[in-house]
Structure 1
């Protein structure tokens, strides 16, 4: 009996260490940032079983076999659609500002598509204004309405959108909606999806959270885009989820969520429709042909708005060029010469981005970062604080917004180049989730965005570097703990 027990213990220990060695090998063989690899190895060796399970769940961007196959097929379809779009050479920008030149060249090289001109754009600064505008566009829709959202919760203003979508579907408008499974858990547990589907609205639950498949696909990979398309020539994107801010998470004590959206009328909307078609094909396996009026919309938009704005669309996430949004942000930050304003709810930048921001301030650029005083993630809130000292020492002005959760994701460079979309300055948005970013090369639009950002600063408290240096030591210890875990957040 003792011999059998000893053999069993030997087998267990050998299997245990073999598993640790195999997972260590997987960590090391993946090309990722050194801090991220070191953080994973520490977790695995300090808390072996928990660390191994955590790594298998969240350590790699595993889409799952079926989704990976669909993603490859969808990417081929996307490239064919891009080639068709590129035959309309008159909609592509050949003249743009010097500050946008490098970024546009990068995107054209890596994505296969350049910046699009002739767009009318409108900055919508309040959720109420966005909903009112959206409802009008839904009522005027002639062919199709497509939407992608991370969070959708019924109630308040959102119920008006649902009613209009049901009416549109009943009058023959094709309505398709992609909603993230985790972000929309409350919505999918309600009766609303069935009511909408019965009316003809096609709703797809993206990236299902399935406990039976936790080791076959990464569960925290999320569809984080916020995107609306009307008839493939009107589009919306920005930071707003489909929620009523007066009702959403009102009991957690951080105030209402503050968001912005951009409404586009023009060729850039056609590029966004390509992104939606790819997402739809990945989720459903259904190959979607270009709309019949695709050509008409492009030509009409260009003729109507011949002096419109130039926009580059950057989708990111699995299936897209790896690390492209990270590259785009780095190029933009290093192009800054006078003034840089960043707005983000979650500030956990990569080492490269942190260095670029600090370098900008140290070479004389006026750098502002606007973040909420409090947000809905305690972990990220503490991790963000760990970066303050280095930023403040470099001369960066950090403003903590006091009037709710500032959820806006924007970067403004030298009052000329604007980046607006769904990307937070954290590892998850930069390297993992499905995201979308607009790059707008326009002084007029940038001036409007700057006024909005200055309004946020006016309702913020600027951190005093001296007071920050004298904060309690226990806070510094907690900050450093979460700083070490920041590559995993």
Structure 2
């Protein structure tokens, strides 16, 4: 054909331009190489994938505005909270006193250390949702809710009814739902809440024309704040799937959440207000009313809490760095639960170094994931971990969705961040760090109970698997930075 040589030349020029764009625009070396492999070896389709999922056309303009709003907000409340960080560190008992480097880092990232908290460990929806409904019913002044997945099902409608009723009683309610994760409620619950006077906004609205730039950079946080005094954070979305009511084996969902009461809620409130200012186009006035004066409030407990949060608006990958600090401080034991184990090289190295240094490292992952490609990519890391002495367990009872870590039974981490590139780089996430031996021991007990429903992966058998089993994992590993 006459046109074929010309088309080939145009394609090569286009491919060269796209490769140049990838190299210029992508700072992560592993991700850069993955995208380059994709566009070179998957003709046309690789470039389409990159332009749909790899580029955020508005990141600089939109998120820079959010950073400014957040910084301006924080100037109003940070002085008092910084002062409290020093007091909280001094008040912690020797057994519970946190690693100073980790504390200093998170304080530098504007997350204060707080003492005098009550923290309740909630496993699965059976424990979380009754506690949430009770807290919402008791609200006097305001309720702030922010979720990645909120579904139009029984629990979604039950919470909606409480919100509508509390709005009718004069409680100020603000509701943020991720426009991708919660797309099922756009034309149902979201509309009903707005009609009842609940201020409701999607985070980073998706339209067909903007699809290319908005499937990444989602709000993966799950936050509830009631009256600035009680907060919820963890891995459990609003969905009936998290409530295990005797269904068939395999439909069981294991997840973990926290209820925090006390000054530790303040940073969750700060995160919510920053996200609200961004997605609503508003700027909340008289913001100080949403941060109680904890000098006048009786201490609800004795737990020391700090919050780690990060996203595309962060100057640094705060959650990634906080996990690295936690891993490096381990002396005896690390217990990790994650549904998606696709660590970047720094996390991988930290886990391997800890295991080689004599730290007992146990990692619990799902036996079956909700994505074959993600499962293959995750399993590609197992051999290196097993050879370093890490003990890997595959959860058999159902799907384990919890994102937790216990270090030396002194530090407990529960949050929304998976141990993967997406959580560290692409999504808005939040983790709670509790420096407390009793809570860390309780979370370790939950981990040990989960091992009763898991099978340990034998290192010898793992390396003897057939080439046909291992080849898809090796291939998936090449694109793991994109998952």
Normalising by the residue count of structure 2, what TM-score does the alignment of the two structures yield?
A: 0.92
Equivalent residue in structure 1 for 2:328, among 304, 328, 334? 334
Question: Which residues of 2 match residues 43-122 of structure 1 at below 5 A?
Answer: 43-64=38-59, 67-68=62-63, 70-86=65-81, 89=84, 92-95=87-90, 100-109=99-108, 111-122=109-120
Which shows bigger deviation, 338-347 or 30-39? Answer: 30-39
Query: What's the secondary structure of 1:212's corresponding residue?
Result: coil
Equivalent residue in structure 2 for 1:192, among 175, 189, 194? 189
Please, which runs of 5 or more residues in structure 2 have no aligned partner?
none
Q: How many residues align?
A: 478
Question: Which residues of 2 match residues 134-213 of structure 1 at below 5 A?
Answer: 134-189=132-187, 191-213=188-210
1:99 positional shift: 5.2
Contact conserved, 2:337 with 2:405, CA < 8 A, in 1? yes
Query: What's the secondary structure of 2:419's corresponding residue?
Result: coil
1:168 positional shift: 0.5
1:300 positional shift: 3.5
1:325 positional shift: 1.2
Equivalent residue in structure 1 for 2:18, among 15, 20, 23? 23
Contact conserved, 1:155 with 1:247, CA < 8 A, in 2? no
Contact conserved, 2:376 with 2:472, CA < 8 A, in 1? yes
1:42 to 2:37 alignment: yes
1:84 positional shift: 4.8
1:86 positional shift: 3.1
Residue in structure 2 matched with residue 466 of structure 1 by the alignment = 460
1:284 positional shift: 1.2
Task: Measure, in 1, the Cα distance between the counterparts of 2:436 and 2:243.
Answer: 35
Task: Measure, in 2, the Cα distance between the counterparts of 1:162 and 1:128.
Answer: 18
Contact conserved, 1:254 with 1:374, CA < 8 A, in 2? no
Per-residue CA deviation, residues 160-212 of structure 1 (Å, 9 max, x unaligned), is 222111110111111111111111122224x3222222112222111222221
Q: What is the aligned-residue RMSD (CA, Å)?
A: 2.5
Task: Measure, in 1, the Cα distance between the counterparts of 2:302 and 2:286.
Answer: 24
Q: 1:422/1:46 Cα in 2 relative to 1: closer, same or farther (>3 Å)?
A: same
Task: Measure, in 1, the Cα distance between the counterparts of 2:296 and 2:453.
Answer: 42
Query: What's the secondary structure of 2:209's corresponding residue?
Result: helix
1:298 positional shift: 2.3
Query: What's the secondary structure of 1:356's corresponding residue?
Result: helix
Contact conserved, 2:377 with 2:480, CA < 8 A, in 1? yes
Task: Measure, in 1, the Cα distance between the counterparts of 2:206 and 2:247.
Answer: 25
Residue in structure 2 matched with residue 430 of structure 1 by the alignment = 424
Query: What's the secondary structure of 2:44's corresponding residue?
Result: helix
Question: Which residues of 2 match residues 255-270 of structure 1 at below 5 A?
Answer: 255-270=251-266
Task: Measure, in 2, the Cα distance between the counterparts of 1:484 and 1:21.
Answer: 21
Task: Measure, in 1, the Cα distance between the counterparts of 2:72 and 2:377.
Answer: 40
1:449 positional shift: 0.7
Q: 1:419/1:90 Cα in 2 relative to 1: closer, same or farther (>3 Å)?
A: closer
1:254 positional shift: 4.0
Residue in structure 1 matched with residue 122 of structure 2 by the alignment = 124
Normalising by the residue count of structure 1, what TM-score does the alignment of the two structures yield?
A: 0.91
Task: Measure, in 2, the Cα distance between the counterparts of 1:59 and 1:188.
Answer: 26
Q: 1:381/1:285 Cα in 2 relative to 1: closer, same or farther (>3 Å)?
A: same
Query: What's the secondary structure of 2:88's corresponding residue?
Result: coil
Contact conserved, 2:117 with 2:299, CA < 8 A, in 1? no
Which shows bigger deviation, 370-379 or 274-283? Answer: 370-379
Residue in structure 1 matched with residue 359 of structure 2 by the alignment = 365
Query: What's the secondary structure of 1:304's corresponding residue?
Result: coil
Per-residue CA deviation, residues 414-459 of structure 1 (Å, 9 max, x unaligned), is 0001111000011101111000011111111101111111111111
Q: 1:18/1:314 Cα in 2 relative to 1: closer, same or farther (>3 Å)?
A: same
Equivalent residue in structure 2 for 1:226, among 210, 222, 228? 222
Task: Measure, in 2, the Cα distance between the counterparts of 1:82 and 1:326.
Answer: 25
Query: What's the secondary structure of 2:23's corresponding residue?
Result: helix
Q: 1:469/1:143 Cα in 2 relative to 1: closer, same or farther (>3 Å)?
A: same
Q: 1:176/1:94 Cα in 2 relative to 1: closer, same or farther (>3 Å)?
A: same
Which shows bigger deviation, 366-375 or 41-50? Answer: 41-50
